């Protein structure tokens, strides 16, 4: 069958930036499994896979807007560690994440990650590491099947490579 809304799709992938730097690939022998049409993979890749079937190899170049979004310079900030609540300050280290209001879009929350702490200043970013990047995917479709009733009602794929929450 062809990939369309609600198909359960297994695929392997390799993804690089436009400059050719590999950023991720599926683990050998462990394809990614998703329920098509539910926003579980980036929108540009979902669009590129429509109509393909098992065995197809798909190359797709995906603009940031259909991947991890544009890079927003206003989300790269330097803030004094003192602005964090006293109880949280010890946790403010590289890798620490916290939610805060978007600096320019009122009412919108952003997850920030601390990248560096130096001289009482935390360097934080609310940008995804791949924001602003054009991505080149090399995909091989392994399997395309109908969803089970459970998968449809849960809105995700089950089984190897899918969700394991039962």
The footprint of Zn ion (CB under 5 A) covers 154, 163
145 vs 163 by CB, closer to Zn ion: 163
| Residue 166 CB, nearest approach to Zn ion (Å) | 6
CB of 161 to Zn ion, least distance (A): 13
Q: Which residue is nearest to Zn ion (CB)?
A: 154
Task: For Zn ion, give the closer residue by CB, 71 or 154.
Answer: 154
Residue with smaller CB distance to Zn ion, 44 or 147: 147
Reported for 116-124, long-range contacts at CB under 8 A and 24+ positions apart, including other chains, are 117/81, 117/92, 117/93, 120/80, 120/81, 120/82, 121/78, 121/79, 121/80, 121/81, 122/78, 122/79, 122/80, 122/81, 122/84, 122/92, 123/76, 123/77, 123/78, 124/76, 124/77, 124/78, 124/79
- Rounded to a whole number of angstroms, the minimum distance from the CB of residue 111 to Zn ion is 24
Two structure tokens written together for 110: 């952003």
C-beta closer to Zn ion: residue 145 or 154: 154
Distance in angstroms (rounded) separating the CA atoms of residues 27 and 40: 18
Q: How far is the CB of 9 from Zn ion (least distance, A)?
A: 16
Which residue in 147, 137, 121 sits closest to 38, CA to CA?
147
CB of 24 to Zn ion, least distance (A): 24
Separation of alpha carbons 6 and 12, rounded Å: 19
Of the pair 104, 153, the CB lying nearest Zn ion is at 153
């Amino acid at each position: 069958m062809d990939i369309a809304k609600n198909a359960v799709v297994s695929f392997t992938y390799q993804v690089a930036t436009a400059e050719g730097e590999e950023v991720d690939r599926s683990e050998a022998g462990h394809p990614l499994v998703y329920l098509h049409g539910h926003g579980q993979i980036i929108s540009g890749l979902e669009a590129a896979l429509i109509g393909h079937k098992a065995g197809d190899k798909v190359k797709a170049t995906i603009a940031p807007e259909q991947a991890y979004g544009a890079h927003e310079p206003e989300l790269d900030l330097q803030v004094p560690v003192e602005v964090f609540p006293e109880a949280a300050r010890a946790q403010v280290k590289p890798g620490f994440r916290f939610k805060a209001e978007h600096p320019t879009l009122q009412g919108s929350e952003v997850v920030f990650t601390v990248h560096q702490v130096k001289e009482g200043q935390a360097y934080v970013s609310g940008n995804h590491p791949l924001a602003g990047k054009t991505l080149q995917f090399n995909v091989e479709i392994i399997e395309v099947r109908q969803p089970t009733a459970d998968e449809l009602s849960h809105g995700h794929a089950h089984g190897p490579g899918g969700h394991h929450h039962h």
